[in-house]
Amino acid sequence: MSFDSLGLSAPILSAVANKGYHTPSPIQAQAIPAVLAGKDVMAAAQTGTGKTAGFTLPLLENLMQGTKAPRKQVRALVLTPTRELAAQVAESVTTYGSALPLKSAVVFGGVGIVPQIQQLARGVDILVATPGRLLDLYQQGAVSFKQLEVLVLDEADRMLDMGFIHDIKKILALLPAKRQNLMFSATFSDDIRALAKGLVNNPVEISVTPRNTTANTVKQWICPVDKTRKSAVLVQLINDNNWQQVLVFSRTKHGANRLAKSLDAKGITAAAIHGNKSQGARTKALANFKTGEVRVLVATDIAARGLDIDQLPQVVNFDLPNVPEDYVHRIGRTGRAGASGQAVSLVSHEENKLLRDIERLIKQNLPREVIAGFEPTHALADTDLSPAKHAKPRNNKQRSGNHNGRANKPRRQSSEQRSGKPGENKPNRSKDASGNNSKPSNQSRRRKPANRKPAAL
Ligand code: AMP
């Protein structure tokens, strides 16, 4: 299949060709004709599938047909959970629409509001926005949605995780009832389905990534290592393998700062990116990482969400995430759109339970490779993937001696475990806090950790 057969016109096709894309990705092949036909779409697709072009290309095509946006009006609104994702979607809109007479803008918090007000005053055909800043702008009378034709909700699952549900509902109430709705989400939990119910009408449903599976092109492995030696083994891995562009995930902001500093001290250029950094510092760190000036970018989960770095070859989990689904999102940073990648997790025996939850979620036992000189004092347990709740753990190739029966305990994490340090983050979705334990499946628990700060990014 080629892009020519999807119904896109010449200027858009040439923008696609300039980007070097030859074949539409599965989400693009399905979403583009549906969006062009004016249908609502509900798509299960994570970052790395080409979903951005999947909605941006037909959106531009459709908007070319109508009349331009008058003062303060917006014709298509793309809502994203994070500033980085907003910036990246806006960049795609600019790239694909470079030859079109359409105006686009991006608005998010953490930067001056006045230039955004000025931009909106002229009217924009496509506005990419994070929810909080968009509401601020609306309340200041800077923008109107009276002529809105299309709403895109990108990474809807992360929007809910980050506590944006109320903002989203407020925004939905401001939009004309008659409009096209496109909703993208990595997974479709009960919460997402509930949100979709009030949003999309008779949608074309597309699913390109099976729920909670990781991309096949990513080689994943586990490096068992003691907690105190993680930093040293990382330095060795980077040097021995001559990794030039490494995205490292850290569970905490302090951990990210500390690691970036210690890598720098060892002669490996590194920068940290997380919610405590200013927008300018984050943009600069990302830009330097993309150009190769910075070799290692150490990021927290929320900061890294949606980062679009072409063909990122190497991802390292310095810590395993508290929420197992975040592992899938982290791995989504690499091996994207057909490119191959490698993801290694540095795992200490204290993280056995987190590893077990991840392996059960992705339904795979990840290979363990101990690095010579970094043999851990306690080996890691293997994960029993059999569905039986009380099955005995299988024999461990590593003879860990760590089969202490913990695998037989229910694998549900306490809310404290899921939310990291107790009391650090306030629950932001009161309705979720209660129902948490009553839902049986992983999928329904996935959206429950009310542990994200609403405005971390
Ligand atoms: P996304 O899932 O939208 O974040 O896109 C993931 C990456 O795939 C981006 O770096 C895109 O530039 C790239 N990409 C999108 N569509 C295609 C395509 N049809 N062929 C090759 N690469 C693509």
**Spacing, Cα 331 to ligand 1 middle (Å):** 16
Residues with CB under 6 A from ligand 1: 21, 23-25, 28, 47-53, 308, 310, 336-337
Residue 434 in this model has a pLDDT that exceeds 50: no
**pTM for this prediction:** 0.58
Look at residue 453 and tell me if it is in a domain: no
pLDDT of residue 309: 61
State how far the Cα of 323 lies from the Cα of 442, in Å rounded to an integer. 11
Higher-confidence position of 88 and 415 = 88
Look at residue 447 and tell me if it is in a domain: no
The H or E element spanning position 248 is strand 246-249
State how far the Cα of 398 lies from the Cα of 394, in Å rounded to an integer. 11
pLDDT of residue 350: 95
Residues 27 and 159 in one domain: yes
Token code pair at residue 193? 């389905």
Segment of 68-72, 288-292, 313-317 carrying the highest mean pLDDT:
68-72
378: Cβ contacts below 8 Å, ≥ 6 apart: 349, 400, 401, 402
pLDDT of residue 146: 97
**Spacing, Cα 22 to ligand 1 middle (Å):** 11
pLDDT of residue 305: 64
**Spacing, Cα 48 to ligand 1 middle (Å):** 6
- pLDDT band for position 433 (50/70/90)? very low
pLDDT of residue 457: 23
Of 345, 428, 361, residue with least CA distance to 160: 428
**Spacing, Cα 53 to ligand 1 middle (Å):** 7
pLDDT of residue 298: 95
Residue 413 in this model has a pLDDT that exceeds 60: no
Which of 72-81, 137-146, 332-341 bottoms out in mean pLDDT, i.e. has the lowest?
A: 332-341
User: C-alpha distances in angstroms, 139 versus 123, 135, 262?
Assistant: 17, 6, 45
State how far the Cα of 363 lies from the Cα of 351, in Å rounded to an integer. 18
Residues 297 and 168 in one domain: no
- Look at the chain and report how many structural domains it folds into: 2
Residues 46 and 172 in one domain: yes
State how far the Cα of 221 lies from the Cα of 334, in Å rounded to an integer. 14
Residue 447 in this model has a pLDDT that exceeds 50: no
Residue 44 in this model has a pLDDT that exceeds 80: yes
State how far the Cα of 268 lies from the Cα of 265, in Å rounded to an integer. 7
- Out of 351, 383, 415, pick the residue that ends a domain: 383
State how far the Cα of 314 lies from the Cα of 87, in Å rounded to an integer. 23
**Spacing, Cα 123 to ligand 1 middle (Å):** 29
What angle separates helix 131-139 from helix 114-121, to the nearest 10 degrees?
70
Percentage with pLDDT > 90 across the chain: 52
Token code pair at residue 374? 């970094």
- Out of 207, 229, 254, pick the residue that ends a domain: 207
pLDDT of residue 217: 65
Provide the residue type at 436 as one letter: N
pLDDT of residue 379: 83
45: Cβ contacts below 8 Å, ≥ 6 apart: 27, 51, 54, 184, 185, 186, 206, 207, 208, 209
- pLDDT band for position 380 (50/70/90)? confident
First to last CA, the chain: 38
Residues 47 and 94 in one domain: yes
Residues 312 and 354 in one domain: yes
Burial 56-93 (b: 16+ CB within 10 A, else e): bbbbbbbbbeeeebeebbbbbbbbbbbbbbbbbbbebb
> Which domain CATH number covers 140?
3.40.50.300
Which of 135-144, 228-237, 268-277, 385-394 bottoms out in mean pLDDT, i.e. has the lowest?
A: 385-394
Residue 190 in this model has a pLDDT that exceeds 60: yes
pLDDT of residue 361: 87
Residues 254 and 168 in one domain: no
Residue 415 in this model has a pLDDT that exceeds 80: no
137: Cβ contacts below 8 Å, ≥ 6 apart: 107, 113, 116, 117, 120, 129, 143
Counting from 1 in the atom list of ligand 1, the atom nearest the Cα of 52 is 3
Of 290, 308, 309, 334, the residue with max ligand 1 atoms within 8 A of its CB, to mutate for a pocket test, comes to 308
Counting from 1 in the atom list of ligand 1, the atom nearest the Cα of 309 is 10
Residue 157 in this model has a pLDDT that exceeds 90: no
**Spacing, Cα 151 to ligand 1 middle (Å):** 21
Residues 368 and 321 in one domain: yes
Residues 201 and 224 in one domain: no
Look at residue 300 and tell me if it is in a domain: yes
Q: In what order do the strands lie in the sheet with 204-207?
A: 104-107, 124-129, 74-79, 150-153, 180-185, 41-44, 204-207
Look at residue 196 and tell me if it is in a domain: yes
Residues 33 and 117 in one domain: yes
Three-class SS of 331-342: HCCCCHHHCCEE
Segment of 205-219, 257-271, 284-298 carrying the highest mean pLDDT:
257-271
- Residue whose Cα lies nearest atom 5 of ligand 1: it is 50
Look at residue 443 and tell me if it is in a domain: no
State how far the Cα of 275 lies from the Cα of 295, in Å rounded to an integer. 21
Burial of 94 (0-12, 13-18, 19+ CB in 10 A): middle
State how far the Cα of 7 lies from the Cα of 33, in Å rounded to an integer. 7
Look at residue 426 and tell me if it is in a domain: no
Counting from 1 in the atom list of ligand 1, the atom nearest the Cα of 49 is 2
- pLDDT band for position 102 (50/70/90)? very high
- Out of 349, 383, 417, pick the residue that ends a domain: 383
State how far the Cα of 359 lies from the Cα of 28, in Å rounded to an integer. 30
- Residue whose Cα lies nearest atom 17 of ligand 1: it is 50
pLDDT digits (tens, 9 = 90+) for 347-376: 999 999 999 999 988 888 899 999 999 999
Mean pLDDT of the chain: 80
Of 3, 8, 13, 19, the residue with max ligand 1 atoms within 8 A of its CB, to mutate for a pocket test, comes to 19
Residues 89 and 21 in one domain: yes
**Spacing, Cα 121 to ligand 1 middle (Å):** 32
Look at residue 397 and tell me if it is in a domain: no
Residues 146 and 255 in one domain: no
Which of 6-10, 146-150, 446-450 bottoms out in mean pLDDT, i.e. has the lowest?
A: 446-450
Q: Could you list the residue range(s) of the whole structural domain that residue 256 is in?
A: 218-383
DSSP symbol at 144: B
Burial of 299 (0-12, 13-18, 19+ CB in 10 A): buried
Residues 158 and 241 in one domain: no
Look at residue 434 and tell me if it is in a domain: no
